[in-house]
Chain A
Amino acid sequence: GENVEQHPSTLSVQEGDSAVIKCTYSDSASNYFPWYKQELGKRPQLIIDIRSNVGEKKDQRIAVTLNKTAKHFSLHITETQPEDSAVYFCAARAPSNTGKLIFGQGTTLQVKP
């Protein structure tokens, strides 16, 4: 089955710097790659996603890139702000009608003011 590895497990940056989180997946058939943000004590919420027919997607300060050949995808956050501090999860889903989503281990991002 699908396996998703996420790195780093923790990341600390200064406010205004960029942050990059990387994930690799094992199932070459996977075609949907979302990123979720979980603030302390809250539920995970979708922040951005990308499909396998697209190489990059941006939404204001966040972007996701996908390299299908290498089977990895990354989350880029520019001009980080303290409110970006949270746990970020990547995930992957293979094409089927099951909807099954497999998550990475999570990255705790700390943005220092």
Chain B
Amino acid sequence: NAGVTQTPKFQVLKTGQSMTLQCAQDMNHEYMSWYRQDPGMGLRLIHYSVGAGITDQGEVPNGYNVSRSTTEDFPLRLLSAAPSQTSVYFCASSRLAGGATGELFFGEGSRLTVL
């Protein structure tokens, strides 16, 4: 099992550019989510999904789009990057069904810099 795989690990963008952070999990988890990590701010929830075709906003959704066409994939799109989106992004997944504990499994993170 690869677990949760994120790509790319590093990315530099110019203001106004768009990009997609990819996230895939091979654990058949229903729940997938994106967090951003900034110094002193902890892990803040951007968007999450409880299954294919279902997405919802988290704490800081502005400037980001997501889709969930399959159970395995949950890409995060930045339509017009801004310097305030410079951060480390983590994708995380967990089981929901069958009395699962809900433990979140994180990807390795993607460091994004917007100039």
A interface vs B, CB < 8 Å?
A: 1, 6, 9, 32, 34, 36, 42-46, 49, 89, 91, 93, 97-106
Contacts and interface: CB of A to CB of B under 8 A. Distances in A.
Given A32-B102, A49-B101, A100 B45 contact: yes
Interface in B46-67: 48, 50, 56, 58-59
Nearest to B96: A99
Interface stretch (B17-25, B35-43, B75-83): B35-43
Contact of B48 (A49, A98, A105): A98
A44 B37 CA distance: 11
A101 B35 CA distance: 10
Contacts of B41: 105
B73 to A, nearest CB: 17
7 contacts: A34-B104, A43-B90, A43-B109, A97-B50, A103-B44, A103-B45, A105-B40
A102 B45 contact: yes
Contacts of B43: 44, 89, 91, 103, 106
Query: How many B residues touch the partner, as a band?
Result: 20 to 34
B58 A100 contact: yes
A102 B102 contact: no
A31 B51 CA distance: 22
B107 A43 contact: yes
B31 interface: yes
B102 A101 contact: yes
A101 B45 contact: yes
The 6 lowest CB-CB distance pairs between A and B, nearest first, are: A99-B31, A105-B42, A43-B106, A103-B43, A106-B42, A103-B42
Given A43-B108, A44-B43, A103 B35 contact: yes
Contacts of B96: 97, 99
A98 B109 contact: no
Given A100-B48, A102-B59, 9 more contacts: A32-B102, A34-B102, A34-B103, A46-B104, A89-B42, A100-B33, A100-B45, A105-B40, A106-B40
